[in-house]
Structure 1
Amino acid sequence: MGTRAIKQQVLGLLQQDDLAGIETELARLQEKELVNALFSGICHSAEQIRWHAVSVMGSAVARLAEQDMEEARVILRRMLWSLNDESGGIGWGAPESMAEIMCRHEGLADEYIHMLISYMRPDGEEECQDGNFLEHEMLQQGLMWAIGRLAQYRKKHLLVRGVEHDLPPYLESSDATVCGLAARAIGLLGRTEGIGRLRELAKKDQRAVRLYNQGNFSTVSVAELAALALQKLQEVG
C-alpha cells in the first residue's frame, strides 16, 4: 500500500468513535508507516481526528520504541523541531502527542520530559538558558493538556522538576482552555500553588472548555475544573 493510501486509511479510521477499535485496527500497520500518517492527523482541523491521532500516536511510538529506541527518539525530535521557530512550522499537536507518548513509555519520559517542561518557561540568561516559552495560546492549550495528562502517569517526573511552580501563571490566561486546563493540572499534581486563584475561578468563571480524555469528549466550565482541582487538593491535604 502506498503512502497516500495509508494516510487516507488512517484518517478514515480516526473519524470513527471507538478509540479502542481504532487502535486495534491501526496496530496492524507497520509503526513507522502509521506514525508518518498520524502526523497529518495530530494537526487536523477536525476535533475527533486530531485527538484520536494523538492517542494512537502515543501507542504507536511506544511500540516503536520497544523495537528501535533510536527511531522513537527521531519522532520525538521531529516534534520538538516543529515547535522551534526556525522550523517554519507551528507544531500543532506536538505537545499533546509528546505527552501521550511519554505516558506510554517511561524510557522516553526519562529522556524528553524536561524538554516538554521547558516550553512552560521563559528563556534565562544566555549562559543558563533552559526555557522555550510558547507564546501562541493554542499551543499553550496543548501544553496545559499535556502537563495534565502527564500528571496522571508521570507525576514524580513533573514534581521533581518543579512544574507545580510553573502552572499558576497560566491561571491568569485570558484563554479559557489554557486557564481551565492549568487548573486541572494543578489538581492532578496535588500541590497547592495557585490555590487562591483556583478559589476565585471556582466561584465565577463560567467560560467553556472542551476536554478530551482517552476517546471521550466533554464540555465543562473553568469553574468546574477549578472546583474539581480544589476537591483533589483537599483529598490530598
Structure 2
Amino acid sequence: MAGLQRSKIMDLLAQKQFSQIVHLDEKPKNIIKILLSLLYERDKLISWRAVQTLGLVVAQRVGDQTEIARDVIRRLLWSLNDESGGTGWYAPQAMGAVIATGPESLAEYIPIMFSFIDDPRLTVGVLWGMAVVARERPDLVQQYTDEIVPFLAKPDGQVRAHAWWALYCIDPQLVQQVDVSTLDGEIYWQGEMVAPLWLKQEF
C-alpha cells in the first residue's frame, strides 16, 4: 500500500497537482514521510516539487500542530548529519518551505538553516529557503542581508541567481542595481525552473 501511495504522489508531482497531494485521504504524517523520501529522487524537478508540496502539507494539514512541524525540521537536519547515511541536498530548501508556512515558533530554526550557507553543496538550497521565508515574513531574515550580498559575486551562476532572489524577496531595493538579465542561473518557482528575469517581471 505504501508503495502504491508513493507512486501516486510521484505521478501527481509530475503533473504538478500539488493540491491533490495535500488533500489525499491519508494521514499528514504519512504524506510527509513520502515527500521527505522524494527529496532524494534523481529527477531534480521532482525533488523541488516535493519541497514545495511539503510546505503546503504543513500549512494546510498540520496547521498549529507545532510538534509535527518540528519533527519535520529535525528529520531534515538529521539528513544533513554524516551519521544519517544519506545526503540531504534538498534539506535546506525544504526547511525554508516548512518554516515559511508552519507555526511562527519555527523561526528559531532559521539560524540553523542559514548556518549551512558556506557548504557549496547546500548554498543554493539555503538561499532559496531564505527567499521563501522572506516572501512570507521578510522581517525574520532581514538581519542576514549583509551576509547574503557577497554571494552575488560568486562564480557559480546558480548561486548568484539565488542570492539575488533571496535579497529581492527581503527587499527589492537591495538589488536594484543588479542587471538581472546577466544572471544565468534558474530558480524553482511553482513547479518549474525559471529565469530570474522572468521572476522580476512577475513580481
Q: What is the TM-score with the length of structure 1 in the denominator?
A: 0.73
Which of 137, 140, 145 aligns to 2:128? It is: 145
Residues matched between the structures, number: 202
Give the secondary-structure state (helix, strand or coil) at the position aligned to 1:58: helix
Contact 2:99–2:133, Cα closer than 8 Å, also in 1 = yes
Contact 2:66–2:103, Cα closer than 8 Å, also in 1 = no
C-alpha separation in 1, matches of 2:21 and 2:71: 24
Q: CA deviation at 1:118?
A: 2.2
Give the secondary-structure state (helix, strand or coil) at the position aligned to 1:96: helix
Give the secondary-structure state (helix, strand or coil) at the position aligned to 1:135: coil
Which of the two has higher C-alpha Rg?
1
C-alpha separation in 1, matches of 2:42 and 2:60: 27
C-alpha separation in 2, matches of 1:148 and 1:180: 11
Q: CA deviation at 1:47?
A: 3.7
Contact 1:167–1:186, Cα closer than 8 Å, also in 2 = yes
Q: CA deviation at 1:67?
A: 6.6
* % same residue: 26
Q: CA deviation at 1:149?
A: 1.1
Which of 171, 181, 190 aligns to 2:162? It is: 181
C-alpha separation in 2, matches of 1:105 and 1:81: 19
Give the secondary-structure state (helix, strand or coil) at the position aligned to 2:165: helix
**Structure 1 stretch displaced more, 82-91 or 6-15:** 82-91
Contact 1:64–1:71, Cα closer than 8 Å, also in 2 = no
C-alpha separation in 2, matches of 1:113 and 1:56: 20
- Equivalent in the alignment of 1:202: 179
**1:52-201 aligned within 5 A:** 52-63=49-60, 65-66=62-63, 68-120=65-117, 133-136=118-121, 139-159=122-142, 162-190=143-171, 199=177
Which consecutive segments of 4 or more residues in structure 1 shift more than 6 A?
Answer: none
Q: CA deviation at 1:148?
A: 1.2
- Equivalent in the alignment of 2:16: 17
| Structure 1: stretches of 5+ with no match in the other structure | 121-132, 233-237
Contact 2:22–2:60, Cα closer than 8 Å, also in 1 = no
Give the secondary-structure state (helix, strand or coil) at the position aligned to 1:4: helix
Task: Provide the aligned C-alpha RMSD in A.
Answer: 2.8
C-alpha separation in 2, matches of 1:148 and 1:82: 21
Give the secondary-structure state (helix, strand or coil) at the position aligned to 2:40: coil
Matched to 1:142, the amino acid is G
Q: What is the TM-score with the length of structure 2 in the denominator?
A: 0.83
Contact 2:62–2:68, Cα closer than 8 Å, also in 1 = yes
C-alpha separation in 1, matches of 2:179 and 2:10: 38
C-alpha separation in 2, matches of 1:67 and 1:189: 25
Matched to 1:50, the amino acid is S
C-alpha separation in 1, matches of 2:100 and 2:181: 33
Matched to 2:119, the amino acid is L
Matched to 1:202, the amino acid is D
